[in-house]
C-alpha cells in the first residue's frame, strides 16, 4: 500500500523518520512521500531521514520557530493559518501514486495535538483517498496538561480521520524507565508493526504471495472507522543446511507442513493476546486483518485459516481478512490489525477527563456569570442610592 506520511510535532516527525528507516531496511517501498511539520525549528533539524525540503516550519509569525509549549489551541490556530504551506509541500505527490494519507502526531503536546486534526480535515476536503491518523497517547506520569490535551485532541482527531490507529506510550513504558528514555525503541516498535502491515502487497525481491494482502483489504478493514490497535508477534527461523537460499528452494510438500501451520496459527494468537499498541478487550472489534510475513515456505495457508477461525471466535466478528507477505527474512512475523475497537479502558479514562474539563469550564463560566450578575446587582443598588 502506498502512503503519504505527514508527521506533525516532535513525536510525529520522529515516528515518520522511523517508518522511513523501516521502509528502507526492509526494501518495501510503501512510503511514497514523507513530510514533517513543526512549530519548533530545532525539532525539525533533529530529524534524520525526512528530506530537508520536506520539513515545514509553521507558525513562524506567532512563535518564531520556538514551538507552542504544549498549548494545543495555539497549535490548531497556527496550523489553520499556515495549512497552505503544508499542502504545497505535498503538491508534487500525485494522488495516483498514493493509496492513503497517514497523519502522525503525539496527542499530549501542542503542535501535533492541535495541528493534526486541522490538517486531516483539509486533506479530506481536498483528496478522495482515505486519511488515517496515528495518535500517540501520553504516559500518565507526564502531567495533567498532557492528559487534558490528549483527551481533547483525541475526540477531534478521531472525528476528522477515516480511522485512528492509537499507540499508548503508557502501556509501553518499561519498568523504571521514563517514557522519554524509551522513545527510540517505542518508535521502532510502532514502525515495525505498521511497516509489516502497510508493506504487505508491495512486491519485494520478486517474491509472489500465495494470497496477497492488497491495499483494498487494508482500506476495507480500516473502513470500520473509529479506533484501531495493532498486535505483533514473531519467531526466529532455524536455518536449514545448504545455505540461506535453500530455504527458498524447498519442495512444495514442505510448504504447508504441520510445523509451519502450527507456527503461524500460534503467532496469530500471540499477536492478538500479547501487548497491543492500544490495550483493549478484543471482543469489541468490528473488523480485523491478519498479515503473515516471512519466507514463502513458512507462510502456511492452513495456519492462516486456522488463526482466522480462532480470531473470529475471540473477537466475535466475521469480518476478518488475512493473507501473506513473502519476504527474504530470518523471521516469520504476524501483524493483527483490530479495527473499530470499542472496549478500551484508556479511551474511557480520557473521555472522562474531557467531560470533567468541560464541566469545570461550564462551572467557571457560570461562576463568572454569577459574579457578573452580583456586580450588576451592586450597580443596581448603587443606582438606587443615587
Ligand atoms: N512514542 C513517542 N512519543 C513521543 C515521542 N516524542 C514525544 N512523544 C510524546 O508526545 C507527546 C508530546 O508531543 P510532542 O510531539 O513532543 O509535542 P509537539 O506536538 O511537538 O508540541 P509542542 O512541543 O508543545 O510544540 C508526549 O506525550 C510525549 O511523551 C516519540 O519520539 N515517540
Residue 323 lies in a domain: yes
ipTM: 0.99
- Residue ID of nearest Cα to ligand 1 atom 28: 138
Q: Does residue 382 surpass a pLDDT of 70?
A: no
Question: From the CB of residue 370, how many other CB atoms can be counted at a distance below 10 Å?
Answer: 10
Please, which pLDDT band fits residue 239 given cuts at 50, 70 and 90? low
Q: Say how many domains are in the chain.
A: 2
Q: Does residue 245 surpass a pLDDT of 50?
A: no
Whole-number Å distance, alpha carbon 357 to ligand 1 midpoint, is 22
pTM comes to: 0.90
Sequence-separated contacts (24+) of 155-160 with Cβ below 8 Å: 155/351, 155/354, 156/117, 157/105, 157/107, 157/116, 157/117, 157/120, 157/133, 158/133, 158/226, 158/227, 159/117, 160/117, 160/120, 160/121, 160/124, 160/131, 160/133
Question: From the CB of residue 166, how many other CB atoms can be counted at a distance below 10 Å?
Answer: 25
Q: Which of 173-187, 277-291, 365-379 has the lowest mean pLDDT?
A: 365-379
- Residue ID of nearest Cα to ligand 1 atom 6: 11
pLDDT at residue 341, rounded to an integer: 98
Convert the pLDDT of each residue in 155-203 to its tens digit.
999 999 999 999 999 999 776 666 666 899 999 999 999 999 999 877 5
Say yes or no: 181 and 219 in one domain: no
Residue 382 lies in a domain: no
Say yes or no: 76 and 160 in one domain: yes
Q: Does residue 253 surpass a pLDDT of 80?
A: no
Convert the pLDDT of each residue in 328-352 to its tens digit.
889 999 999 999 999 999 999 998 8
Pocket of ligand 1 (CB under 6 A): 9-11, 14, 39-40, 43, 67-70, 106, 108-113, 136, 138-139, 142, 146, 169, 179, 183, 186-187
Average pLDDT over residues 362-382: 57
Residue 362 is assigned to a ligand binding site:
no
| Grid coordinates given for 105 | 502526531
Tell me the C-alpha distance between 335 and 197, whole Å: 6
By three-state DSSP, how is residue 165 classified? strand
Please report the atom of ligand 1 found closest to the CA of residue 39.
Answer: 25
CATH of the domain at 317: 3.30.1330.20
Whole-number Å distance, alpha carbon 98 to ligand 1 midpoint, is 27
Domain termination site, one of 144, 166, 199: 199
Q: Does residue 371 surpass a pLDDT of 80?
A: no
Say yes or no: 164 and 310 in one domain: no
Convert the pLDDT of each residue in 87-143 to its tens digit.
999 998 877 899 999 999 999 999 999 999 999 999 999 999 999 999 999 998 898
Q: Does residue 287 surpass a pLDDT of 70?
A: yes
Residue 258 is assigned to a ligand binding site:
no
Residue 169 is assigned to a ligand binding site:
yes
Whole-number average pLDDT of the chain: 88
Say yes or no: 189 and 241 in one domain: no
Residue 27 lies in a domain: yes
| Grid coordinates given for 270 | 500471540
Question: Which helix (H) or strand (E) segment is 164 a member of?
Answer: strand 163-168
Tell me the C-alpha distance between 360 and 358, whole Å: 5
Start-to-end CA span in the chain (Å): 78
Q: Is 366 left (phi over 0), alpha (psi -120 to 50) or beta?
A: alpha
| Grid coordinates given for 293 | 510475513
Average pLDDT over residues 8-24: 97
Whole-number Å distance, alpha carbon 295 to ligand 1 midpoint, is 36
Query: If you search the block for the grid coordinates 525526512, which residue do you land on?
Result: 50
- Residue ID of nearest Cα to ligand 1 atom 18: 9
Residue 300 lies in a domain: yes
Residue 345 lies in a domain: no
Please report the atom of ligand 1 found closest to the CA of residue 70.
Answer: 24
Say yes or no: 30 and 144 in one domain: yes
DSSP state of 281: B
Say yes or no: 136 and 235 in one domain: no
pLDDT at residue 365, rounded to an integer: 72
Residue 11 is assigned to a ligand binding site:
yes
Whole-number Å distance, alpha carbon 84 to ligand 1 midpoint, is 24
Of 354, 310, 285, the residue nearest 147 (C-alpha)? 354
Q: Does residue 232 surpass a pLDDT of 80?
A: yes
Say yes or no: 302 and 328 in one domain: yes
Say yes or no: 146 and 277 in one domain: no
Q: Does residue 375 surpass a pLDDT of 50?
A: no
Say yes or no: 281 and 327 in one domain: yes
Whole-number Å distance, alpha carbon 176 to ligand 1 midpoint, is 20
Domain termination site, one of 199, 233, 251: 199
pLDDT at residue 376, rounded to an integer: 42
Residue 18 lies in a domain: yes
Residue 357 is assigned to a ligand binding site:
no
Whole-number Å distance, alpha carbon 288 to ligand 1 midpoint, is 29
Say yes or no: 166 and 284 in one domain: no
pLDDT at residue 96, rounded to an integer: 80
Task: For ligand 1, pick from 8, 11, 118 the residue to mutate: most ligand atoms within 8 Å of CB.
Answer: 11
Residue 289 lies in a domain: yes
Whole-number Å distance, alpha carbon 170 to ligand 1 midpoint, is 13
pLDDT at residue 143, rounded to an integer: 87
- Residue ID of nearest Cα to ligand 1 atom 12: 109
Please, which pLDDT band fits residue 353 given cuts at 50, 70 and 90? confident
Whole-number Å distance, alpha carbon 16 to ligand 1 midpoint, is 13
Residue 112 is assigned to a ligand binding site:
yes
| Grid coordinates given for 315 | 473477537
Say yes or no: 60 and 146 in one domain: yes
CATH of the domain at 195: 3.40.50.1440
Q: Write the DSSP assignment of 172-219 as a string of letters.
A: HPPTT--TGGGHHHHHHHHHHHHHHHHHTTS--TT---SSB--HHHHH
Of 359, 365, 298, the residue nearest 327 (C-alpha)? 298
Say yes or no: 23 and 157 in one domain: yes
Query: If you search the block for the grid coordinates 504471495, which residue do you land on?
Result: 209
pLDDT at residue 358, rounded to an integer: 77
Residue 263 lies in a domain: yes
- Residue ID of nearest Cα to ligand 1 atom 3: 11
pLDDT at residue 205, rounded to an integer: 57
Residue 14 is assigned to a ligand binding site:
yes
Average pLDDT over residues 291-303: 93
Contacts of 297 (CB under 8 A, 6+ apart): 247, 248, 250, 254, 255, 260
Please, which pLDDT band fits residue 251 given cuts at 50, 70 and 90? very low
Domain termination site, one of 138, 164, 199: 199
Domain ranges, residue 231? 215-339
Residue 243 is assigned to a ligand binding site:
no
Amino acid at each position: 500500500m502506498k502512503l503519504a506520511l505527514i508527521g506533525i510535532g516532535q513525536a510525529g516527525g520522529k515516528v515518520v523518520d522511523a517508518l522511513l528507516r523501516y521502509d528502507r531496511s526492509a526494501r518495501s517501498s510503501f512510503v511514497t512521500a514523507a513530510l514533517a511539520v513543526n512549530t519548533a525549528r530545532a525539532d525539525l533539524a533533529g530529524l534524520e531521514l525526512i528530506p530537508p525540503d520536506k520539513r515545514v516550519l509553521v507558525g513562524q509569525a506567532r512563535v518564531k520557530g520556538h514551538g507552542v509549549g504544549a498549548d494545543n489551541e495555539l497549535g490548531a490556530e497556527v496550523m489553520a493559518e499556515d495549512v497552505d504551506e503544508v499542502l504545497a509541500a505535498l503538491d508534487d505527490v500525485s494522488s495516483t501514486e498514493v493509496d492513503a494519507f497517514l497523519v502522525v502526531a503525539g496527542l499530549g503536546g501542542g503542535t501535533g495535538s492541535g495541528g493534526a486534526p486541522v490538517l486531516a480535515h483539509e486533506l479530506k476536503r481536498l483528496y478522495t483517498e482515505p486519511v488515517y491518523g496515528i495518535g500517540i497517547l501520553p504516559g500518565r506520569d507526564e502531567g495533567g496538561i498532557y492528559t487534558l490535551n490528549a483527551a481533547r485532541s483525541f475526540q477531534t482527531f478521531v472525528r476528522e480521520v477515516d480511522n485512528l490507529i492509537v499507540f499508548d506510550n503508557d502501556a509501553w513504558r518499561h519498568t523504571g524507565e521514563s517514557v522519554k528514555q524509551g522513545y527510540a525503541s517505542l518508535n521502532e516498535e510502532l514502525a515495525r508493526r505498521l511497516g509489516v502491515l502497510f508493506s504487505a502487497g508491495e512486491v519485494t525481491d520478486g517474491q509472489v504471495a500465495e494470497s496477497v494482502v492488497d491495499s483494498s483489504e487494508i482500506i476495507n478493514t480500516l473502513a470500520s472507522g473509529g479506533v484501531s490497535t495493532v498486535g505483533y508477534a514473531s519467531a526466529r527461523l532455524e536455518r536449514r543446511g545448504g545455505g540461506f537460499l535453500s530455504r527458498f528452494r524447498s519442495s512444495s510438500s514442505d510448504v504447508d507442513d504441520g510445523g509451519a501451520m502450527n507456527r503461524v496459527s500460534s503467532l496469530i494468537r500471540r499477536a492478538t493476546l500479547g501487548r497491543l499498541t492500544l490495550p483493549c478487550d478484543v471482543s469489541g472489534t468490528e473488523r480485523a486483518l491478519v498479515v503473515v510475513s516471512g519466507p514463502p515456505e513458512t507462510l502456511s495457508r492452513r495456519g492462516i485459516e486456522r488463526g482466522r477461525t480462532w480470531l473470529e471466535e475471540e473477537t466475535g466478528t466475521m469480518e476478518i481478512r488475512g493473507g501473506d507477505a513473502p519476504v527474504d527474512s530470518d523471521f516469520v512475523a504476524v501483524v493483527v490489525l483490530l479495527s473499530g475497537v470499542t472496549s478500551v479502558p484508556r479511551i474511557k479514562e480520557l473521555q472522562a477527563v474531557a467531560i470533567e474539563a468541560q464541566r469545570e469550564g461550564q462551572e467557571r463560566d457560570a461562576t463568572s456569570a454569577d459574579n457578573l450578575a452580583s456586580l450588576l446587582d451592586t450597580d443596581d443598588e448603587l443606582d438606587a442610592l443615587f
